[in-house]
Amino acid sequence: MNYLFGVDGGGSGCRVVLTSSDGKILGKAKGGPANIETSFSKARDNIINACMTAFKVANLSKNNFKYSYAILGLAGSNLGNYASKLSNDLPFAKNKILNDGEITLEGAIGPVDGCIGALGTGSVFVGRKKGITKLTGGWGFNLGDDGSGAKLGKELMKLSIKCHDGLENHSDLTIDFLRNFNSDIKEMVECAKSFKPTDYAQYAPQIFSAMCGQDSNARKLIECEVVLIEKSLVAAGFREENPFCLIGGLGKLFLPFLKDIFVRSCSEPKGDALEGALSIGKREFFI
């Protein structure tokens, strides 16, 4: 028997679903972070371990890797040669690595033209026009990830420093935030030296909570990202008449602050990224 894996891997963790070739779900599992650009070896190990767990849940031996096919939607796969390097180092009979945004698009709107913004620890904007998929953003934390939790958290840190230095005015948000570091800028700077995107992203909910209280600095941070989110959606191919979803952990939090045209057009996703991976996998390997 042949098997199909769908893998959704991002900066916060990876999810795996195992099905038979006819689509019956046999097992699911979760694993550690799987951004192959920020931590290639750990991502590979986390993906394989999660797949082995799914085999175990299905009461199948890991020897069945050689009868298995996989669609992997992974953060960082659009950068460097990480995708081709990983593809050659996986135990599946055949696999195809896509950006995680592509499987999220497929799951959210199906195989039709439309657009999504995926806003979580990182971010990516994906559109499809006449069957051709286009990614906007998704360039990683150092130079991209507009509208992401990681960027919001880092911008909050930078703003807190500006407030400390007298370039901006403190608000309840920045004052409360600095208490995480004993109200000591030096301690915050030292801690940030070892921060990964997930470490920055943990502070994003604090910004949205402050926004509910009309905090001026929260508004400043969110409004800056909203402008970039809207521009990114348009660049990815947003059309009011086509399906559009804003998803991920921060999608629904950002949506109320976008222009009315985006709010009106936004719909709930039909399915998630794993369902998208399986849909692509069926077309790629079994049809």
Q: In what order do the strands lie in the sheet with 3-9?
A: 25-31, 14-20, 3-9, 68-74, 94-98
Determine the average pLDDT of the residues in 186-195.
96
The predicted-structure confidence for 232-282, as pLDDT tens digits, reads as follows 999 999 999 999 999 989 999 999 999 999 999 999 999 999 999 999 999
Percent of the chain with pLDDT over 70: 100
Q: pLDDT confidence of 74, banded at 50, 70, 90?
A: very high
Q: What is the largest CA-CA distance in the chain?
A: 67
| Distance separating alpha carbons of residues 79 and 140, to the nearest angstrom | 8
Report the b/e string of 145-179 with b at 16+ CB within 10 A: bbbbbbbbbbbbbebbbebbeeebebbebbeebbe
Compute, in degrees rounded to 10, the torsion defined by CA atoms 82, 247, 271, 28.
50
Determine the average pLDDT of the residues in 144-157.
96
Q: Checking DSSP bridges between strand 244-247 and strand 114-119, what pairing results, if any? A: parallel
pLDDT of residue 287 exceeding 80, the answer is no
The per-residue pLDDT for 125 is 96
The predicted-structure confidence for 32-48, as pLDDT tens digits, reads as follows 999 898 889 999 999 99
pLDDT of residue 10 exceeding 90, the answer is no
The per-residue pLDDT for 141 is 87
Q: What are phi and psi of 77, to 5 degrees?
A: -75, -15
pLDDT of residue 69 exceeding 90, the answer is yes
- Give how far the C-alpha of residue 66 lies from the chain's centroid of Cα atoms, to the nearest Å: 29
Determine the average pLDDT of the residues in 99-111.
93
Determine the average pLDDT of the residues in 84-88.
94
| Distance separating alpha carbons of residues 234 and 100, to the nearest angstrom | 20
| Closest to 119 (Cα-Cα) out of 97, 145, 82, 98 | 145
- Give how far the C-alpha of residue 109 lies from the chain's centroid of Cα atoms, to the nearest Å: 17
The per-residue pLDDT for 121 is 87
| Closest to 173 (Cα-Cα) out of 125, 137, 222, 121 | 222
Q: What is the mean pLDDT of the chain?
A: 94
Q: What are phi and psi of 13, to 5 degrees?
A: 165, 180
The per-residue pLDDT for 75 is 86
Q: How many CB atoms lie within 10 A of CB 205?
A: 15
pLDDT of residue 286 exceeding 90, the answer is no
| Distance separating alpha carbons of residues 150 and 199, to the nearest angstrom | 7
The per-residue pLDDT for 192 is 96
The per-residue pLDDT for 12 is 79
Contact 247, 116 (CB under 8 A): yes
pLDDT of residue 104 exceeding 90, the answer is yes
Domains in the chain: ranges and CATH: 3-109+271-286 (3.30.420.40), 112-268 (3.30.420.40)
